[in-house]
Structures are given as C-alpha cells and as structure tokens.
Structure 1
C-alpha cells in the first residue's frame, strides 16, 4: 500500500527529550539536575464521569511532556517553554494570580505547595514535548504532573504518587480555574504500558486492564478546533450535575453524587423536578457509568467489537444529552460509522473541539485516514490531523546528576 499524504507521523520521543535537555543547557548555562517525563492520556470510555465520582477508563500514551530542572540559590523562578520559545520569570515570594498561559500549570503547583506549608528554593526549568495541544490529550495535566514530580525529587518532599496526583489536580482546579476531575492527572502519573486503567473516582481504587489491540490500533483524529468554550462550559456542566444531585438528595438521601443514582431515579423522579437540561446531563452521566462497566467486561473478554459499540453509544450521549460535541466531531464519528475498518469511535476530552478516538484495523489506517480527511476537507476546509497512539508508562524520572 502506498502511504498517503495523511499517513500519521510520530515524533521520536528521544529527539524531543534531548531537545529539552539541550535547550536547558543553552539557556541556563549548565546541565539540569533532573529530567522527568509525564505522558498525555487517552480516555477509552467514561467522559465527564470523573467529577461525578464515577468510573473512567483512561490510558497513558507515548505523547509526552519533558521537564528539565535545576535548583537556584535564590527564590526566583525562571521558566522556558522550548516549544514556544517563550520565557517567564517570577519569584516564589510573589506567586501572584494566574496570567492565562502555559506558566499557570507550573506556578499553580508551587501555589499548592505553599498552601500546604511546603517551602522550596528557586528553580530553573525548561519544558517541552510532543503532546498535541488542544486535542483533548491533557497536555495541561502532563505539565502539572511533571512539575510536582520534579519538585518532589529535587527537594525530597516525600510525596506519594497519589498525593502528587491530588496536588496536580488542585493546581488546575484552584489556580488555573478549571474544575476538572482527577482522571487526567491520575492517568498521567499511574499509566502502564499495554494497559488501560480502570479508576473508581470515588474510592480512588484502580485496576490495570490489559489492552491487547492485536491487529488494531488507536487512531486519534484532531479536528484542529480549539477548546474556546471548553473551560466555561465544563464548569457549567459540573454545576448542572451538582444541581441534579441536590434535587435527588431531597428524595433519596443516600445520593451523594450521580455515582449513587440509577436510571429509575433519573427517569421517574429527577425528570419531573429539575429543568430539562439538568435532567439530560444527569441521564448521560448515569448511562455512561453503566456503559463503561459493560465495556470493561468486554475488554476483559478481549471482545473489541462489543467495546467499540459502547464507544459509538458514548458519543451519541455526549453529543445529544451532554451537549459537549461540535459539528466537526460529530462529522468524524459519522464518517467512522461508515468505515468497516473502524470498530469504535467517539469524541474524547472536555469537548467543543479536540479529537475523536478510533479503534481501527491496522492494515487500513492509511486509506481510511485519507478518505476521511478528504471528506472532512470538503465539509470544513481543512483536514484533521492524524495521530497513532501506543500505550505507555506514567510519570517517571529519566535522569539526574
């Protein structure tokens, strides 16, 4: 088969890693004390269920952020984004308020340490990677996890991996201002090569689920539509779910989150006592939790076809009930339904742009990407970006002096 112009290209991780380390040395005049990496993540199924104390099924992938760091003798922060060729300087004594760019994800972690009474000295940092920004692969969580992992190593803070996950999540919630659940940071830190991660977001119990794709691959198709509405609408969805829980609790005191609700409660009680939008949001979350549990059992049986059907159903719910899709995402999923080589597809991430995740038969990747790309171009005037993802390990120390 002749490769098409849209054949997915994978940026070598080693070259990205070396580039970050070399840029650190060039800019700061010395080698870094530590070099760490943290992956982006996919989510196979279970979207917008994490902040409702439900279940998620993410996996870490071989798209990563790298962070090089060394200790300073003062209290200054010197940050370099190698991908953007941007720098920022500040002081530990004046962390201040968010500025609305990449620095917030790093400074927000330091802010969380301050809130916990942890004091560190100044640092020099260079950061870069190959996680596509805006594709819903959680580049922000990877940055936060890199930061807390590196600080924990450098200053011997003695944090457990779960504590680091919680600090990274709190940085995004309280400093960046996005009320995300814990899935992104958990997957980034705890990911395991060749496995998905079944996480109960209430108990924080997790289980590795082997994911043997055999002759299949994970294909991401990035719409290149950015998340211009995602943060605000994300927070609105969370508030709507909380409104539904408050209404249910008046009738069913045992309901502390949508995790505790069932279909009967939604259809025969909630539907009549809340606005329609609140009902629809809650209906989606309850159904998605059920889909995930059935889908995970299919994976344990190595039944990818049944799992793929749950992915398609998940997208329908995200689009019609939770209303976080967009025309570009819906179009890609409809195209995927027509491709015999794709056994499952849905939008992934917060929504309002980003990418679809597809399970596709390997021999047909090039022709399917080419065909879908041309159809997408005719409709929207640009082709989606294609990425093939492999499952990878979580946040780790690569080197230290």
Structure 2
C-alpha cells in the first residue's frame, strides 16, 4: 500500500494485529470463564502518521470512502470506521493524550467470516496511536481499552477474548485466558500430523443486530436467578438446572458451564501432547452451541457433519454465531477429502462454495516498520 499516495507524506509507523480462532470455549468469556484462542497469520495492518489538527482520518484499501472524524462521540461513527475511531475515543477516556492521525488500513482477513477482524482493527489502530504519541500501555490494559471501544462506542457488548488474543498470543501456542482475572498463559499447540482447517461458510454474520446481545442478557439473567456473579461460578450444574424454570435459561446455562469445562479438558490434552483427542471435544462443543445455545446456522452444521464424515477428528462453529466459520481438526492425509466433501455438500444445496484457510498459531500484534 502507498501511504504517500493517500496522504502526501511518509508514514511514521506500521502496526499489524492478527485475527483469531477460538479453539474452544465459545461465549464463556462474558461469563467470566476461560477461553483458548490462538492468533492467525492473517490480520489487519494500520499505517499511520500524526496530524496537528486533531482530525482522525481513516482510509481502508477494502473500502472506497475516507472517513474524517473531528468529534469522537459514541454511536456517531458507523461501519468499519467506528471500531478504529472508538479506540481513539477509549484511549482519551482512559486519560491518554491522543491527538489526530492519518491512518491507512489494509486487511487480508475474510470479511464476515467470524475471525475477529473488528478486534484486529481495534488493536492495530490502538498500537499505532500509542506509538505515534509515545504512550506506553500494557497490552492487557490496551485489550480492555479496545473492548470498551467496542462496547461503548460501537455498541457491541463483546467480551475481552478477541482483543486479548490479538495482543497477547504467541507463535505456536494457544492463549489460556481467565476472563475474570485477566491472567493468561501460553499453551503449546503442536499440530504435528494435523491441520486446523478454517471453513468460511460464506454466511456472513452481524453481531450488532441483537442475537449476541440477547444471549448475553440470558446468561446474566440466569446468573442472577442462581445467585452467582456469573455462570462461571456454577459448581453443581444439575442443581442449577433444577433451580431454573425457564427452558431457554436452562439451555444457555448448560452450554456455558459445559463449554467452560471443555476448555480445561482441551488444555490438559494439549499439554499432554494428545492433540488428536481434542477433536471429540470440538464436536461436542458444536452440538452444544447448536442445541443449547442455539447460535449455529445450516451451513455450519453441514460443514461440521461432512468434515467429520470425511475424516476430520472433530469440528465446530467458531465466533459469535449466526454466520461465519467452522474450524476442523484434520489429519494431514485427509485434508483434500474434507475440502472436497464440504464443497460437494454445499453444491448439492445450491449454496455458495465455501472458502478454506489453514490456521496456524501465529504471533500476536507487532510493529512491522
């Protein structure tokens, strides 16, 4: 990309933040639970230079229109630019003296695939702004700032997982994150003999439309009725389900509690070098997301079923739900068969052909130049 072509000057810094896949533990983050994401090689790049007029000017190589923000107010900026502008707002709200900037965005993450392009954008821009203005913010704190940008500026009540993954992941590892304490540790993700295949179902998701928020509200309601701070604190699931009369709240609670346990089980398997055994837990997680949390979609269910039938050790939907991607744990000698089986199943249903991406655990956000 040619920064000078757009802004007539040389950039002062280039930052890149990755997208993420959550290996297991979906929707446990805002229940103060545990998650296990890893960073992708694909991500968002922010090339930036300071401005003296206080204006935040944003351009994206994936969008034809420039966005000039002179007054940062929540919900006033829309579209992709809201995530970038929100970080500038949140940094200022946290007391950091962030001025104007010209920022050029580029991304090689599939849009609408549920691979956390919004958090990658927030983190890349946040790091760029901190770099431009000599602000030192510890990465866990910057993750919270980026989360606040999405919660309060954009209006999306996300948890802390995506921003933490983009900022804290390391190459060859998944990140075990305790979403209550913020403590994290690196878990070796040795895929010898296997690949983690991302299947973009081409059913784009949009999480600001209320489906995600309603699931979060249900979890908070269930926790209130159970007298616990969050569903993470449920120790006796059977007893908790007896307390809840609402069948919807029972289903939501069952998913969150069991998926939280699945995170711990997968961590144990990875540390023992038993990656093949992770597959069954991936599939169990998908069935729970489909039947208990009710956020799967037909293309995901077919992708999971066909991938497992073709030789994957397990598969599940990833992301917030209602569209996006599936991840499958595939023996290297079955990769082509899995791709062919899913593609054929989509063609039989006259669906748009899926896209495939091999996911390797990659480094977190970093300065490129």
TM range (shorter): over 0.9
Deviation of the 1:94 alpha carbon = 4.7
Instruction: Decide which of 80, 87, 94 is 2:59's aligned counterpart.
Output: 80
Deviation of the 1:299 alpha carbon = 1.0
**Contact 1:244/1:282 (<8 A) preserved:** yes
Deviations 1:75-113 (A, max 9, x none): 11211111223211121x454633330100011111112
Gaps of 5+ in 2: none
Equivalent-residue separation in structure 1 for 2:328 and 2:232 (angstroms): 27
Q: Secondary structure at the match of 1:85?
A: strand
Equivalent-residue separation in structure 1 for 2:289 and 2:72 (angstroms): 41
> Is residue 13 of structure 2 the alignment partner of residue 34 of structure 1?
yes
Equivalent-residue separation in structure 2 for 1:60 and 1:238 (angstroms): 24
Deviations 1:366-397 (A, max 9, x none): 23212220111211432111111221111111
Name the CA shift for 1:389/1:179 in 2 (closer, same or farther; >3 Å). Answer: same
- 1:11 counterpart residue number: none
Q: How does 1:84-99 map to 2 (within 5 A)?
A: 84-91=63-70, 93-95=71-73, 97-99=75-77
- 1:61 counterpart residue number: 40
> Is residue 363 of structure 2 the alignment partner of residue 393 of structure 1?
yes
Q: How does 1:324-363 map to 2 (within 5 A)?
A: 324-340=295-311, 342-363=312-333
- 2:152 counterpart residue number: 174
Instruction: Decide which of 272, 277, 291 is 1:301's aligned counterpart.
Output: 272
TM (normalized to structure 2)?
A: 0.96
- 1:282 counterpart residue number: 253
The number of residues matched between the two structures is 369
**Contact 2:58/2:102 (<8 A) preserved:** yes
Equivalent-residue separation in structure 1 for 2:143 and 2:132 (angstroms): 17
Equivalent-residue separation in structure 1 for 2:213 and 2:159 (angstroms): 11
Gaps of 5+ in 1: 1-18, 250-254
**Contact 1:247/1:270 (<8 A) preserved:** no
Deviation of the 1:231 alpha carbon = 4.2
**Contact 1:198/1:207 (<8 A) preserved:** yes
**Contact 1:248/1:270 (<8 A) preserved:** no
> Is residue 125 of structure 2 the alignment partner of residue 154 of structure 1?
no
Deviations 1:182-233 (A, max 9, x none): 0000000011010011111111111111111012111111111111466411
Equivalent-residue separation in structure 1 for 2:109 and 2:351 (angstroms): 24
- 2:217 counterpart residue number: 239
- 2:233 counterpart residue number: 260
Deviations 1:274-301 (A, max 9, x none): 4110111011100111111112111111
**Contact 1:36/1:397 (<8 A) preserved:** yes
Deviation of the 1:116 alpha carbon = 2.4
- 2:176 counterpart residue number: 198
TM (normalized to structure 1)?
A: 0.89
> Is residue 167 of structure 2 the alignment partner of residue 185 of structure 1?
no
Equivalent-residue separation in structure 2 for 1:269 and 1:394 (angstroms): 38
Instruction: Decide which of 340, 343, 361 is 1:370's aligned counterpart.
Output: 340
State the Cα RMSD in Å.
1.4
Deviation of the 1:325 alpha carbon = 0.2
Q: Secondary structure at the match of 1:147?
A: helix
Deviation of the 1:149 alpha carbon = 0.8
**Contact 1:68/1:127 (<8 A) preserved:** yes
